[in-house]
Amino acid sequence: MNPVKVGICGLGTVGGGTFNVLQRNAEEIARRAGRGIEVAQIAMRTPKPQFQTTGIAITNDVFEVATNPEIDIVIELMGGYTVARELVLKAIEHGKHVVTANKALIAVHGNEIFAKAREKGVIVAFEAAVAGGIPVIKAIREGLSANRINWVAGIINGTGNFILTEMREKGRTFEDVLVEAQALGYAEADPTFDVEGIDAAHKLTILASIAFGIPLQFDKAYTEGITKLTTADVNYAEALGYRIKHLGVARRTDAGIELRVHPTLIPADRLIANVNGVFNAVMVNGDAVGSTLYYGAGAVVQGRADGVAVDHHRV
C-alpha cells in the first residue's frame, strides 16, 4: 500500500520535533497506522541544516504545499492567526486533510475551518493544540464519550506554571523568573499570551467546545493573568495550606457554560496543586466516571516525555 504523503509547514521547534519523530519512529508509526507516513515536502522560511532533509522537496511558499497534488495531509505548525488560516483553508479547498497544533487558530477561526472541512469531506485534527503531549482531546471525545461532562479544569500553560513554581519554591519575584523563562525558551520575547492567560483561554475554548458540544467562543472567556501576583501572595497561600495555580476552568451551570482563566487557590494536598514546572494537567469530571486527571509534558517535540530530555519550548 502506498504511503500517506504529508507536507510540513513550519520547521521551528514544534515542526522540527514533529519531523524528527516521523523520521525516527517511521516503522512503528507505519505498524500502528497500517500505512507508512512519508514527509514529502517541507515549507520553511530559512534553511535548517540541522535536519536531514535529503530527498524531500523544500519550499519557502507554504501555499505550494497546500496545492501540491502529491500531498495528502498538510501539517500546519507555523502559529499565528492570519497566514495559518489562509493556509488551512487553501489546503481544505484542495481536498487535503489538515493537522495543526495552532490553538489560537482553532479557538478564533475553528468554526469557519470546521464548516469548510465538513463541506469538503476532509478532517482537521488538532490534538496537539491543547496540552501538547497529553492526549486529553481524545480522552474527552472518545474515552469519556458516554459521560455528561460537568466541568473541566486544568493547568494548560507551562510557562505560567513554571513561573509560579519558581516563585513558591525559591522565593523569586515574577519579573526575575520571567526573564529566566524567556532565556530558556519557555516564554516568547513578548510573553503576553502566556502570562496574561490568553494562551490558556485559547486552549480552554477548545476543551469546552469538545466537552460540552458548543461552538468555539474564545471572545466569551473571562481571562486574568498572573502578572500582579507577588512572592508575598504565594507565601501567604502556602502558609494557609494552599497553592496558587493559573487554571482554565469550564463548567456547566444552570445559566450556561462558564469559561474562565485566572489564578486559583488550591489545597496543597490536591494532585493538581502538585503539578510543577512546565508540566500541564487537566482534570475532567463526568457524571459516570467522576473526576479524572491527565498529566504530562505540555509539548513533546524533541526528546523523551519524562521531564528529563524534553524540549518544553512553547508549552
Is 96 known to be catalytic? no
- The secondary structure of residue 271, as a DSSP letter, is G
Confidence of residue 187 (pLDDT cuts 50, 70, 90): confident
- Cα–Cα distances (Å) from 125 to 58, 88, 153, 299, in that order, read 24, 11, 22, 16
What are the pLDDT digits (tens) for 285-314? 999 999 999 999 875 444 443 333 333 334
What are the pLDDT digits (tens) for 23-63? 999 999 999 999 999 999 999 999 888 999 999 999 999 99
For residue 188, what pLDDT is reported? 86
CB neighbours (10 Å) of residue 166? Answer: 21
Task: Count CA within 13 A, CB hemisphere, residue 24.
Answer: 11
For residue 33, what pLDDT is reported? 93
Rounded distance between C-alpha atoms, residue 141 and residue 145, angstroms: 6
Kind of pairing between the strands at 256-267 and 242-253: antiparallel
What are the pLDDT digits (tens) for 83-108? 999 999 999 999 999 999 999 999 99
For residue 298, what pLDDT is reported? 75
Residue type, 190: D
Inter-residue contact 292 to 298 (CB < 8 Å): no
Rounded distance between C-alpha atoms, residue 228 and residue 220, angstroms: 22
E runs forming strands in 169-276: 222-223, 242-253, 256-267
For residue 299, what pLDDT is reported? 56
| Residues with Cβ within 8 Å of residue 315, at least 6 apart in sequence | 132, 157, 158, 159, 186, 278, 280, 297, 298, 299
Q: Domain 4-129, CATH 3.40.50.150 — does that match?
A: no
Mean pLDDT of 266-289: 97
Strand order from edge to edge, sheet including 242-253: 222-223, 256-267, 242-253, 149-155, 279-286, 290-297
Cell digits of residue 276: 510543577
The rounded mean pLDDT for the chain is 93
CATH of 136-297, one of 3.40.950.10, 3.30.360.10, 3.40.50.1820, 3.40.720.10: 3.30.360.10
- What residue ranges do the domains of the chain occupy? 4-129, 136-297
For residue 133, what pLDDT is reported? 85
User: In the predicted model, is pLDDT for residue 235 greater than 70?
Assistant: yes
- Per annotation, catalytic residue among 96, 103, 203, 245: 203
Rounded distance between C-alpha atoms, residue 160 and residue 280, angstroms: 10
For residue 311, what pLDDT is reported? 37
What are the pLDDT digits (tens) for 134-160? 999 999 999 999 999 999 999 999 999
Confidence of residue 66 (pLDDT cuts 50, 70, 90): very high
